[in-house]
Amino acid sequence: MNSKIAGKFTSFFVLLQIHFTDMKKRKVPHTFVIVFCCILLAAMMTWFIKPGKYIEEQVDGQSVMTFYYQDQLPEVYAKDFHAEPQTWQVFAALFKGFEKQCSIIVFILIIGGAFWIMNKSRAIDTGIMAFLDFTKRLEHNKLIRKIGVNNIIITLIMILFSLFGSVFGMSEETIAFTLIIIPLAISMGYDSIVGVCMVYVAAHIGFSGAMLNPFTIGIAQGIAGIPLFSGIGYRAVCWVILTIIGIVFVLLYANKVKKNPRVSLMYEEDSYWREVKGERLEVKGEKTKEDHLSPLTSHLSPSYWVYALITVLLVYCAIRFPMTTLKVGNSTSTLPLMPIGAGLFALVGFFALRKGVPYLVLTMLFGTVYYLIVGVLGYGWYIMEIATLFLFMGVCSGFAIGKSASDIAKLFIEGMGDILSAAVVVGLAAGIVIVLQDGGVIDTILYGLSKSMSNLGTIASTEIMYGIQTLINIVIPSGSAKAAITMPIMAPFSDLIGISRQTTVMAFQFGDGFTNMITPTSGVLIATLGVARIPWEKWVRFIWKFIVVLVVIGALLLIPTVTMHLEGF
């Protein structure tokens, strides 16, 4: 290696020394350090892997993906492809990562600020205590007591979120729900990991075993040229199997933590959640000034005006959108969901105000979740609309508990500051993909892996496809992006080796989902861990065995698609 190249690597080894110094001291490196080391590793790969690019070309009237190394690119494409080995660019990765993931970063900050305001009302804690009191009464039933009320709760919540992931590809939305479920998990005697599993892991198990997910199944089948959402029968079986495995895994861990909280990897870090819970719930039974305010006792109550404003707004939405068409796969249902939501809020909110302001805020939270689901399924909402919805809820919560506009602004800033580190990690993690893209090696890696499938049997080729999709997902966690890159290559190849295109889609589906729960390049994972205050390295220690199990199960579930005659395959 000449002195020029050696000089370019100097910064790499100096920075890596920080990591190894921490290891010698037996200290777990900070998440920022771990992710930055991944960026350095990605940069080093750009020096040893020849850059290349897949180009979409027309051959005999059909669109095909052709791979070219950089020095072989046709002139028309070469002028737009400027890959080079990455050196100092690793320091620009954070900036570019922020640009790439700006929507998720802003979403995190807004959600953090909104929940910080809402938490001042003690609404979530009030709801949790009411819920736990209800579950205690259920324990009088012998059958339920034998099964375990908490086990039933965890199972039902995981099934719900797994369905959400399977049907409409819930992913980013889990960030907000994590902030709701973790306090519940802590109050039930578990840890923050169980809370994340109940929401994030459940949704991504459903995402992996999707039946109707338009962002993965829809796009992949569309590119492969097969009927949309065909083969749903076997995919439904896969979803059931994967969901059961996920529930069993979480229940075993949850019960272990319940028996001995100190076995939790997050026992020390969860002191934050325990302290917050203690500060808010130690006043159980006491009434605050806001609790007594009611529209029936004080016409000056801020909560009265908030209730009236939201009701009027929802009535307006109900008049403007009297019918909503829900789209689930190829099925559609038209229902008066906006009028139903307005009516429910007006009725439930009135009785909630009679009990106290926290109950009104809790009603607003449930209303937010209701309209989130309606918006996503009926109106194609995404991150911007969801963030706006939660921001509105947070501001209304602040006014309902009597805060001034300036106080609400200060609370919002405090909430964003509290969750800022999570946002920074999302931007930093995105830098890994940025470095690989700028180095032009992602397509080269994919090309090399695809060549490994030559001259193999159908089962072996299917598993190789699955392995390729799994490896690619580590650096490209976006299902839609990966479908656009890999399916034009895999689908025609499957015809040549005698594998159905439906099988190829399933290999993509499994490969796309499982490693999302561990790869640091997943913005949603990093964001979820950030709001949950779980260090990525501790999450890896917890989840890696489960990911291995899922990968093996996925490989086994692919075999029947080759050896058996299944509908749609």
Q: Please compute the mean of the pLDDT values over residues 332-349 and round it to a whole number.
A: 92
Q: Answer yes or no: is 279 within a domain.
A: yes
How many angstroms separate the Cα of 271 from the Cα of each of 111, 186, 274, 276, 542? 22, 10, 5, 8, 19
Q: Is 475 among the domain residues?
A: no
**pTM exceeds cut of 0.85:** no
Q: Is 212 among the domain residues?
A: yes
312 & 365 share domain: yes
Q: Which residues pair with 63 in a beta bridge?
A: 58
Domain co-membership, 353 together with 221: yes
Q: How confident is the model at residue 484 (pLDDT cuts 50, 70, 90)?
A: low
How much is the pLDDT for 453? 65
User: Does some domain include residue 513?
Assistant: no
Label residue 420 exposed, middle or buried (CB < 10 Å: 0-12, 13-18, 19+): middle
Q: Is residue 403 within 8 Å of residue 123, measured between CB atoms? A: no
Query: Are 60 and 128 found together in one domain?
Result: no
Poorest-pLDDT segment among 24-28, 225-229, 432-436, 547-551: 24-28
Residues 114 and 67 in one domain: no
User: Do residues 52 and 70 touch, judged by C-beta distance below 8 A?
Assistant: yes
The answer, yes or no, to whether residue 470 has pLDDT greater than 50, is: yes
Whether the predicted pLDDT of 128 surpasses 80: no
89 in any annotated domain: no
pLDDT of 323 reads 94
Question: Stretch 511-529: mean pLDDT, rounded?
Answer: 87
Count of domains for the chain: 2
pLDDT of residue 264: 92
| 34 lies in some domain | no
Tell me what pLDDT residue 299 has.
43
Model confidence at 456: pLDDT above 60: yes
Query: Does residue 58 share a domain with residue 178?
Result: no
Query: Model confidence at 481, in pLDDT bands (50, 70, 90)?
Result: low
Q: How confident is the model at residue 276 (pLDDT cuts 50, 70, 90)?
A: low
For range 415-428, the mean pLDDT = 81
Predicted local confidence at residue 449, as pLDDT: 67
What does the pLDDT average to over 135-156? 82
Q: What is the pLDDT of residue 398?
A: 92
Phi, psi of 494 (to 5 degrees): -65, -30
The band of 424, judged by pLDDT with boundaries at 50, 70 and 90, is confident
With respect to residue 492, please indicate whether it lies within any of the assigned structural domains: no
For residue 70, give its domain range.
Answer: 50-83
- Do 77 and 138 fall within a single domain? no
Among 65-69, 485-489, 507-511, which stretch is predicted with the lowest mean pLDDT?
485-489
Structure-model confidence comparison of residues 390 and 17, the more confident one: 390
Instruction: Give residue 329's pLDDT.
Output: 63
The reply to whether 74 and 140 lie within a common domain is: no
Q: What is the mean pLDDT of the chain?
A: 82
Report which of residues 223 and 293 the model is more confident about: 223
Residues 240, 126 share a domain: yes
Domain check: are 119 and 172 in the same one?
Answer: yes
pLDDT tens for residues 243-272?
A: 999 999 999 999 999 999 999 999 888 888
State percent of the chain over pLDDT 70.
87
Q: Which two tokens stand for residue 260?
A: 């001995």
Q: Is 329 or 245 the better-scoring residue by pLDDT?
A: 245
Name the DSSP letter for residue 85: -
Q: Residue holding tokens 């995404």?
A: 382
Report how far residue 121's alpha carbon sits from residue 108's, in angstroms, rounded to the nearest whole number. Answer: 21
Residue where a domain stops, chosen among 419, 452, 477 = 419
219 & 306 share domain: yes
Q: Is 9 within a domain?
A: no
Q: Are residues 132 and 65 in the same domain?
A: no
Q: What is the mean pLDDT of residues 63-89?
A: 83
Average pLDDT of the segment spanning 355-363? 88
Tens digits of per-residue pLDDT, 6-43?
A: 444 444 444 444 444 444 445 557 777 877 888 898 89
DSSP state of 215: I
> In this structure, are 222 and 333 located in the same domain?
yes
